């Protein structure tokens, strides 16, 4: 989903701002500022996580913030005064970069590591990365067409496309991404096995030790006792015969 909130447009910030009406010199000046904000955003995300803010919370609200800013970026393509609109576009791009790295851009790595089951983690991550690369190829083909003045020449309106993609990501995240914060891997596996709704992960009480003891050690012990009893019954039956 990290490809679906306009990250590729943001990665081509100089070209995007030029198409929005900013001079090439000023458009280039925004790029190092954006990279600095990206780095600060990662440290900011670590701080937010240390305060106990959940991964799902950061991811969902981050997506909502990105969607809102993408809509604003698209609407900035409407004013006829392109000088003022282009500066506003550049400022909004910097804010977008800060929100992205504070939330979605950093938290996604934590979610990938925590939500996949231990037994299938390698395969899950590999399949996820393969899907990411396929989608990246498609997005990298589409984005230059959107921004190129000799092709589709969408300019600011390219943000509307990514806003639509972000809205689908918001819907998926709300219904399908659970909250892993404060949970052990065993507890997460139990919640998934029970079929608990992603929205109820945080409030559902589960005791991984009790589950493992009842379903594991005790269950195996009772099974062994039954096996021994069956053997003893068979022996007594043979003696009688």
Q: Is residue 79 part of a domain?
A: yes
Q: Is residue 64 part of a domain?
A: yes
What distance in Å separates the CA atoms of residue 152 and residue 73, rounded to the nearest whole number? 17
Q: Is residue 129 part of a domain?
A: yes
Give residue 213's pLDDT band: very low, low, confident or very high (50, 70, 90).
Answer: very low
The closest of 181, 206, 188 to 51, measured between CA atoms, is: 181
What distance in Å separates the CA atoms of residue 173 and residue 1, rounded to the nearest whole number? 9
Give residue 189's pLDDT band: very low, low, confident or very high (50, 70, 90).
Answer: confident
Whether residue 172 is predicted with pLDDT greater than 90 in this model: the reply is yes
Q: Is residue 217 part of a domain?
A: no
Q: Give the CATH number for residue 81.
A: 1.20.1250.20
Higher pLDDT, 53 or 5: 53
The mean pLDDT value for 227-234 works out to 65
Whether residue 218 is predicted with pLDDT greater than 50 in this model: the reply is no
Whether residue 212 is predicted with pLDDT greater than 70 in this model: the reply is no
Beta-carbon contacts of 100 under 8 Å, excluding residues fewer than 6 positions away, are 5, 7, 10, 38, 41, 62, 66
Q: Is residue 38 part of a domain?
A: yes
Q: Is residue 118 part of a domain?
A: yes
The mean pLDDT value for 106-117 works out to 88
What distance in Å separates the CA atoms of residue 52 and residue 198, rounded to the nearest whole number? 19
The mean pLDDT value for 154-173 works out to 90
Identify the domain containing residue 20 by its residue range: 7-184
The closest of 100, 88, 86 to 17, measured between CA atoms, is: 86
Whether residue 8 is predicted with pLDDT greater than 60 in this model: the reply is no
Q: Is residue 205 part of a domain?
A: no
The closest of 178, 176, 162 to 66, measured between CA atoms, is: 162
Percent residues over pLDDT 90 in the chain: 23
What distance in Å separates the CA atoms of residue 199 and residue 43, rounded to the nearest whole number? 27
User: pLDDT tens digit string along 10-35?
Assistant: 566 777 777 767 777 777 777 777 77
Q: Is residue 133 part of a domain?
A: yes
Counting the structural domains of the chain, the total is 1
Whether residue 216 is predicted with pLDDT greater than 70 in this model: the reply is no
């Amino acid at each position: 989903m990290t490809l679906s909130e306009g990250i590729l447009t943001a990665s081509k910030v100089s070209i995007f701002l030029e198409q929005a009406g900013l001079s090439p010199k000023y458009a280039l000046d925004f790029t190092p500022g954006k990279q600095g904000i990206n780095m600060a955003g990662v440290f900011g995300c670590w701080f937010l996580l240390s305060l106990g803010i959940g991964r799902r919370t950061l991811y969902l609200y981050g997506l909502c913030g990105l969607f809102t800013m993408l809509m604003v970026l698209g609407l900035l393509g409407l004013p006829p005064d392109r000088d003022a609109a282009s500066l506003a576009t550049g400022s909004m791009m910097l804010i977008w970069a800060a929100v992205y790295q504070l939330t979605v851009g950093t938290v996604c790595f934590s979610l990938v590591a925590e939500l996949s089951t231990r037994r299938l983690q390698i395969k899950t991550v590999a399949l996820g990365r393969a899907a990411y690369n396929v989608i990246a190829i498609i997005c990298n083909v589409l984005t230059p067409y959107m921004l190129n003045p000799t092709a589709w020449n969408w300019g600011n309106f390219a943000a509307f496309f990514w806003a639509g993609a972000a809205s689908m990501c918001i819907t998926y995240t709300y219904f399908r991404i659970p909250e892993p914060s404060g949970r052990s891997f065993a507890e997460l596996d139990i919640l998934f096995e029970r079929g608990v709704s992603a929205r109820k992960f945080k409030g559902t009480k589960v005791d991984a030790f009790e589950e493992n003891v009842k379903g594991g050690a005790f269950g195996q012990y009772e099974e062994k006792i039954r096996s021994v009893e069956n053997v003893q019954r068979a022996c007594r039956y043979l003696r009688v015969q």
